[in-house]
Amino acid sequence: MAARPDMPGQDSGLAELLAAIDQEVAEELRREQLQADRLSADKAALTEIGRHLCFRLAGQDLAVPLAQVLEVGELETLRPLPFLPDWAEGVTNIRGEIVSVTNLAVFFQTGGRAQKKSRTVIILHEGGMKTAAIVDKITGTRLLHTREGLANSGSAAVPADFLSGAALFMAEDSENRLDILNSGRLLAALRLQ
CATH of 48-192, one of 1.20.120.1200, 2.40.50.180, 3.30.2270.10, 3.40.50.2300: 2.40.50.180
Average pLDDT, the chain: 83
| Strand, coil or helix: 34 | helix
The pLDDT value given to residue 67: 94
Average the pLDDT over 180-188 and give the result: 92
pLDDT band at 20 (very low <50, low <70, confident <90, very high): confident
Say whether pLDDT at 30 is over 90: no
Strand ranges, E, within 82-119: 88-94, 97-103
For residue range 38-54, list pLDDT tens digits in order: 555 555 578 889 999 99
For residue range 151-174, list pLDDT tens digits in order: 766 666 788 889 988 888 877 777
Per-domain boundaries in the chain: 11-45, 48-192
The pLDDT value given to residue 186: 93
**Closest residue by Cα to residue 78 from 57, 99, 63:** 99
